[in-house]
Amino acid sequence: MAITIQEIKELREATAAGMGACKEALTATNGNMEEAIKYLREKGLAVAAKRVDKESKQGIIALAEAADKKTMALAEVNCETDFVAKTEAFIKFVDDAAKVALEGKDIEATLNDDYKMLLTKTGENVKIRRSERYVLEGAGVLSGYIHMGGKIGVLVELACEKADAAELADAAHMICLQIAANAPKYVNPEDVPQAEIDAELEIKLNALKEQKGKLPPEQALVGIKKGMAAKYCTQVCVTKQDYVADGEVTVEKYLDGVAKTVGAPITIKRFCRMQLGA
């Protein structure tokens, strides 16, 4: 049967697929609109299967938050090219993925039809990579931040009895900026696994031996190892890092200052940092 331009336009409006793909789908399904939509979705999955070996290192990390800011979520979706990552269809899908994550639902299962259509539209290997959801636990605040147009996403929870203090919300935002910029792995030194510290010390001591020809006596090594471990913690523990807005103090000291202002102790309860493709 002949496929009209109007039918093609109608299918295009319903799916955002290309004119050629819409014509192909309608022709294959004898003009049945519902079957044509299904055809396009299945075609999208077939395209993705053919491109499964293609690397998906581009994409977006999106943030969603509840109106009361007591629940926040991040979602990362990857694609092959930066061009696709900037398209309206891809951006909308990632935003929707973050909203689904905010509700505590499975992204792929909830957005299955939308995902299939996105594969059809983009023709790329699109991957729903990961998501993270924080629900405020006890007194405190949540804060979320997206950096570099979706290249980095951060969630932070601060614990404090003065949860309504504006200074606390500002501090949570600044900790987000800190984490985005300095990529810590842990909150405090006691959170760092001993095995990780031992591995770092081995690398440092081998380098020292290479430089000096031999290691100092065991008695001297005790202090050297302690100093090396402490220095490593200043790199990987957010509380021990230099505060990005004032290099004269650590993050820990910065929060102590805010705590005095609000009248209650502040602790970083947890954080999540997503970096695109990492």
What is the model's pTM?
A: 0.80
Categorize the per-residue pLDDT at 176 as very low, low, confident or very high, splitting at 50, 70 and 90.
very high
* Domains parsed from the chain with CATH numbers: 5-50 (1.10.8.10), 52-134 (3.30.479.20), 193-236 (no CATH)
pLDDT, one tens digit per residue, over 26-76 is 999 988 888 888 887 777 655 555 555 567 889 999 999 999 999 999 999
Q: What's residue 43's pLDDT?
A: 72
Q: What's residue 199's pLDDT?
A: 93
Name which residue leads in pLDDT, 160 or 213.
160
First-last CA distance in the chain: 50
Does position 10 have pLDDT exceeding 90, yes or no? no
- 2-25 as b/e: b if 16+ CB within 10 A: ebeeebbeebeeebbbeeebbbbb
Q: What's residue 135's pLDDT?
A: 98
pLDDT, one tens digit per residue, over 97-149 is 999 999 999 999 999 989 988 988 888 889 999 999 999 999 999 999 999 99
Does position 257 have pLDDT exceeding 70, yes or no? yes
Q: What's residue 47's pLDDT?
A: 57
Q: What's residue 85's pLDDT?
A: 96
Of residues 1, 10, 73, 63, the one with CA closest to residue 31:
1
